[in-house]
Structure 1
Amino acid sequence: MNFLSLIKPILAISVIVICFFLSCDKDYHSVGVDLLTKTTLKTRSFNAPVYSYQKKLNYFQTDGLPLGQLGRIQIPGFGVSKASITSQLRYSGGPVFGNYTQEAEVAKDNPAVIDENEKVTSVYLDIPFFNNLDDADQDGVIDLFDNDAKDPESDSDGDGLSDIEESRLNLNPLSDDSDNDGILDLIDTDSSSFEYENNIYQIDSIFGNRAATFNLKVYELTYFLSPLDPLQNFERNKQYYSNTDFFEQGFIGAKLCDTLYSLNFDELRFNYKEDDPETNDVDERNKIQTRLSPRIRVPLDIDFFQTKIIDNEGEDHLSNYENFTRFFKGIVIRADNFSDDLYMLLDINNANINIEYDYNFNNSNGTLDNTSDDIIEINSKVFSLNFNGVRFNTLNHQDMSGEIDKEVQLGQNNIASKKSYLNGNGYFSTIKLFDKLNSQGELLDDLRNNRWLVSEANLFLYVDQDHYISSDLDIIKRLYLFNYSNGSPIIDFTLDNSVNNNQKNKDKFIYGGFLEYDDLGRPYRYKFRITNHVNRLIRKDSTNYTIAISPANGINSIGYKRAQTSDQEFINYPSTSVLSPLGVVLHGSGGEEMDSSKIQLEIFYTEY
């Protein structure tokens, strides 16, 4: 079969189809013209009424959070916030100190088993800072220090070698003389002495004066932190709240640390303790063995841990986790006497107490059956306790503004607020759309009867700029909306799958909630796109529930904690809203009628 014979049937069918459509052409166009002439589409905007009410939490659940808060800070418009940490301690596996169990040491059935005589040599509390190693262009220089974070060929130290080239050559992209030998990298033929494994960190989540000094104190806790609630017949987890303060109640024992402290943001590096005799040309004591990210690191009382932990090897106290937490109930970490404001969000999930101890080691020199050539040597090990048990924050608030209490009282009487105070200490607002009572009022009924297609709905919340004249350091950069009745996010948050891989806390950017700035660089407003929520109210007769607004320290993992409001009501409150001391003062809805800074809901719609 040739090409022409194949295509003839196809051409015939095509002609028939074309003729059919030509015969229908007149009717087809007449219908379209009729639609366009009878229907006129008009795009308009409508500013819907919004009513805001100030709310306050008496206390909220702080156990099970992903970070620990420690410090003191004064936030404009809110007063002073203080935070301390209370935590159980856990260990991994059954504790055997040295190489042999205490039972084996006492039995002396094996001549190779000696009295190991463990002695604590140091104890350190380590709590890492949150850090940022973001490197958008993968050139070996984190974005904070990169001359051009989007160009791997940039030259941050100006030495004629690009950042990516220096990283590949194991040089320092932030120094033109990596090994400090006086010879520039561009012409240096040997920079091998440079420790290219060293890291430079950007530290996150430290507020206030990073150079401030303070007294760091650690105490033994004498109150048992039960993981299960006795009031719930031990069938549910026990909840620990922000107003729980076992230190003030006197449940403390030995003081394990009391030292004047200042933060160090450098990588911690530890050299080998001993030289390797087999490497004659290298002294390992000058070489780095261990690197740790920047952190709080303080020594604790050696004698306490010798008596409390090491000397109890083989005792029931250390036989299992439950016995251990009743024997050593935990610690309380406090900070006071600050030279200036300093408030830290700490990586408590990776915190630990490291107990280093020496012990006797029987070196048999490879002759297990002959003890005559055995040598007693001193070895060392580390026993670690982590913070993965019950832990919580105690949060105290002092010198709070009287204006906040006035707004809270107005809110309790269902009077709209002139100012909205949002803060990680438990201050938030509720808003009602279209109607003060959130009922199916006349306005919402009228909107539902209109022939509207809502294309976009934006909620605007304006910053009271009088509180932020000189700085925005103490203002939260993002807010969050949730259903006040059950704590769930609004539908626009749930449906927004937008992702920003270059910046933290910037996902779901269509939904928004970000702080925006005016032309002078001052904090100006927050904007939420709540199109789906409004559409459901107007087109699908959804329930017009009360929305709550709170600070957001992050939105990638949204859960909630139990909290009690000043109305003695228990609610589900977003976890993200209690993870930072920061907040913002906004204009509410109770100001002058024509005040353009009042909270606004702008709806764009098409009328047909």
Structure 2
Amino acid sequence: MYNNSFFKKILVVASIAFLYSCDKDYNEIGAGLIGENNFNLEKETYDVIAYNQKTGPIQSNNLAVSPLGIFNNPNFGEVTANYGTQLTLVTPISTIGANAYIESVILTIPYFSTLTSSSTTTGNVYRLDSIYGVEKAKMKISIYESGYYMRDADPVGGFQQAQNYFTNQNTEFDNVKVSSRLNDAVDTAQNDAFFFDPAEHVVAVTDSLTNAVTTTRTAPGMQISLNRGYFKTRIIDAVASGKLATNDVFKDYFRGLYFKMEKAAGSAGNLAMLDFKAGKITIKYNEDLASTTGGSPTRVKKTIVMNLTGNCVSLLENNFGSSGLAYNALPNTGNTSEGDEKLYLKGGQGSVAVLSLFNTPGQLEAIRNSGWLINEASLVFHIDAEAMSGSYEPKRIYLYDFNNNRPIVDYYMDLTSNTANLKKAKTVFDGNINVNATSKKGLTYKIRITNQIRNLINVKDSTNVKLGVVVTEDISVFPSHKLRTPNSFITGAPKASVMSPLGTILYGSKSTVPVDKRLKLEIFYTKPN
């Protein structure tokens, strides 16, 4: 397995180096000829067949960020995003002192936020990022001990094959949740009237031993008190039996947390993207420390920290209702011969657009024989502005090799970077939304596939693969995730699309689409006079 993986990596690197050399030669040849005024820049457009393809349930485990909440998209219906995760002990525990008493059990998960103002007297003000829906919308959140064991390896595929978990497994987790919900505090903001609060946390804690008061300020995030008695029984009292001695034993004993979201009365809810793996449960407790000299024991403060790491899964429930009727009525696979009028790109358990280039017999061969030097080749997708007028718009879309579920050469060869935000890298490859300067609403997305087309022309045995287009949460994340039920049309989709809660509607390639909106392949080229 290791050797196969090693040679695959070598092959990929060698291929990229070869393609880069072709590109370099092309640029050098073109640069010299253009400098002598022997070339004129011209443009040609080509029809594209583009159609919708739904994914169905898709692998959603171990995502970098995951949605939590309820979001009603005007074009795609309502999605309820729940979550399941294992816990891992920062420090395994094999012994505990006498008379242990828990002071607090706090679950914390940071929100994505931006500091907008700061004051030593009034505190800090933040704006929450990656929130979709009405601000401060109330929801019911219930956090349970999970009874679902998330194994590492697939017993069917063997220990070499990782176990995958999928978007449509919410019922499986819900059916085996353990006992009552853990967030049962009197404060309803921690359960029945929960909302994503942008306020910074200001916590004053009085030490039970010294009565000293300590005040801490932290950026916005989920801070929920969990039932102390439950954790006394399940965690503190389990130390003596060895259940916390190693993480392998612990993860089998305490199988993690299950987050269940429901609507609160009179509220449609909203949804936030969260980095759950940055979350933790902190148990603060006191215990007696035995004297080493035979005297009375000393009362000491201790802490147990459990991170929200290990296996995890984003659990999505779609309710299309009236707002998602058109999308729900779409066939799983669109019109593969003529293309579809509208392309519906939806993240999560959603849909992709499939593109087929050079469908006219002899078209590609004619370009190969033309002597053209390709300066730029691109696909421009026009947004259905009317349909998307009341919707959140994805900031970026991503195009990939649909046949092989991997990036195309233009993705690899774009070395533009953004050290502050990797999501904004690869600006030449593009896919960023272009907006109206006044309304700030989306107009188009443009993706350059110059080297993909060059290779099709230069390397005559190269395959004219189908291309896929999806919404993306992060352009730097390119691996593919598997469908739960693959078929002859589709087997997987980009992981970054599964991470995204958004969708968009683009004009397709069918002949009934107005020419100025229709998806076309645009090629700018030069040729000898």
TM-score normalized by the length of structure 1: 0.73
| 3-state SS of paired residue (2:233) | helix
Residues 257-282 of structure 1: CA distance to partner in whole angstroms, max 9, x if unpaired?
Answer: 252212222332334535999xxxxx
Report if the CA contact (8 A) 1:353-1:385 is conserved.
yes
Give runs of aligned pairs for residues 156-305 of structure 1, distance below 5 A: 178-179=120-121, 200-246=125-171, 250-255=175-180, 256-258=182-184, 259-260=191-192, 261-271=194-204, 273-274=206-207, 285=213, 288=215, 290-305=216-231
Distance, in Å, in 2 between the alignment partners of 1:537 and 1:350 is 44
| Equivalent position of 1:391 in the other structure | 312
Distance, in Å, in 2 between the alignment partners of 1:119 and 1:412 is 65
- CA drift of 1:201 comes to 4.0
Residues 526-585 of structure 1: CA distance to partner in whole angstroms, max 9, x if unpaired?
Answer: 011211111112233332100000011111232221125774655242111111211100
Residues 190-210 of structure 1: CA distance to partner in whole angstroms, max 9, x if unpaired?
Answer: xxxxxxxx7554432111122
Residues 495-529 of structure 1: CA distance to partner in whole angstroms, max 9, x if unpaired?
Answer: 11112456662211111101112354231110112
Which piece of structure 1 moves more, 479-488 or 592-601?
Answer: 592-601
Report if the CA contact (8 A) 2:200-2:217 is conserved.
yes
Aligned letter for 1:342?
N
| Equivalent position of 2:251 in the other structure | 325
Aligned letter for 1:116?
A
| Equivalent position of 1:310 in the other structure | 236
Give runs of aligned pairs for residues 31-70 of structure 1, distance below 5 A: 40-70=38-68
Aligned letter for 1:518?
N
* 1:533 corresponds to which of 441, 452, 456: 452
- CA drift of 1:487 comes to 1.4
Distance, in Å, in 1 between the alignment partners of 2:121 and 2:329 is 62
Distance, in Å, in 1 between the alignment partners of 2:39 and 2:380 is 27
* 1:408 corresponds to which of 323, 328, 331: 331
Residues 346-394 of structure 1: CA distance to partner in whole angstroms, max 9, x if unpaired?
Answer: 11111111122122245x6xxx5463xx4x5533222111121111011
| Equivalent position of 2:23 in the other structure | none
Distance, in Å, in 1 between the alignment partners of 2:224 and 2:458 is 61
Distance, in Å, in 1 between the alignment partners of 2:239 and 2:170 is 32
Report if the CA contact (8 A) 1:516-1:523 is conserved.
yes
- Are positions 1:117 and 2:117 aligned together? no
CA distance 1:594–1:274, change in 2 (3 Å): closer
Distance, in Å, in 2 between the alignment partners of 1:526 and 1:45 is 19
Aligned residues: 480
Distance, in Å, in 2 between the alignment partners of 1:433 and 1:384 is 54
Give runs of aligned pairs for residues 447-466 of structure 1, distance below 5 A: 447-466=367-386
Determine which structure has the larger strand proportion and give its number.
2
* 1:580 corresponds to which of 500, 505, 526: 500
CA distance 1:357–1:223, change in 2 (3 Å): same
CA distance 1:595–1:406, change in 2 (3 Å): farther
Distance, in Å, in 2 between the alignment partners of 1:202 and 1:341 is 18
Report if the CA contact (8 A) 1:476-1:582 is conserved.
yes
Distance, in Å, in 2 between the alignment partners of 1:324 and 1:501 is 38
Report if the CA contact (8 A) 1:47-1:601 is conserved.
yes
Residues 299-336 of structure 1: CA distance to partner in whole angstroms, max 9, x if unpaired?
Answer: 11211111111011221322322222222122211111
- CA drift of 1:66 comes to 1.2
CA distance 1:202–1:413, change in 2 (3 Å): same
CA distance 1:61–1:297, change in 2 (3 Å): same
Residues 449-503 of structure 1: CA distance to partner in whole angstroms, max 9, x if unpaired?
Answer: 112111111210010111123x45x110100011111211111111111124566
| 3-state SS of paired residue (1:528) | strand
Residues 78-127 of structure 1: CA distance to partner in whole angstroms, max 9, x if unpaired?
Answer: 1111110111111123215xxxx35xxxxxxxxxxxx6210222212211
Give runs of aligned pairs for residues 376-387 of structure 1, distance below 5 A: 376-387=297-308
CA distance 1:594–1:391, change in 2 (3 Å): closer
* 1:443 corresponds to which of 339, 343, 363: 363
- CA drift of 1:44 comes to 1.0
* 1:431 corresponds to which of 326, 335, 355: 355
| Equivalent position of 1:515 in the other structure | 433
Give runs of aligned pairs for residues 589-604 of structure 1, distance below 5 A: 589-592=509-512, 594-604=514-524
* 1:349 corresponds to which of 277, 292, 301: 277
| 3-state SS of paired residue (1:505) | helix
Distance, in Å, in 1 between the alignment partners of 2:399 and 2:339 is 18
Question: Which runs of no fewer than 5 residues in structure 2 stay unpaired?
Answer: 1-32, 185-190
CA distance 1:506–1:291, change in 2 (3 Å): same
- Are positions 1:496 and 2:432 aligned together? no
Aligned letter for 2:388?
Y
Aligned letter for 1:418?
E
RMSD of Structure 2 on Structure 1 (CA): 2.8
CA distance 1:507–1:230, change in 2 (3 Å): same
CA distance 1:587–1:310, change in 2 (3 Å): same
Aligned letter for 2:286?
D
CA distance 1:458–1:272, change in 2 (3 Å): same
Report if the CA contact (8 A) 2:105-2:226 is conserved.
yes
Aligned letter for 1:340?
A
Residues 44-85 of structure 1: CA distance to partner in whole angstroms, max 9, x if unpaired?
Answer: 100111110100011111111112321111112111111101
Report if the CA contact (8 A) 2:49-2:337 is conserved.
no
CA distance 1:381–1:39, change in 2 (3 Å): closer
Distance, in Å, in 1 between the alignment partners of 2:196 and 2:407 is 37
Distance, in Å, in 1 between the alignment partners of 2:521 and 2:57 is 31
* 1:482 corresponds to which of 381, 394, 400: 400
Whichever of the two has the greater Rg, that structure is: 1
Distance, in Å, in 1 between the alignment partners of 2:311 and 2:344 is 31
CA distance 1:410–1:558, change in 2 (3 Å): closer
Aligned letter for 2:326?
E
CA distance 1:405–1:434, change in 2 (3 Å): farther
Give runs of aligned pairs for residues 24-173 of structure 1, distance below 5 A: 40-96=38-94, 101=95, 116-132=98-114
Distance, in Å, in 2 between the alignment partners of 1:576 and 1:223 is 25
| Equivalent position of 2:5 in the other structure | none
Distance, in Å, in 2 between the alignment partners of 1:70 and 1:215 is 12
| 3-state SS of paired residue (1:411) | coil
TM-score normalized by the length of structure 2: 0.83
Percentage identity across paired residues of the two chains: 26
Aligned letter for 1:237?
A
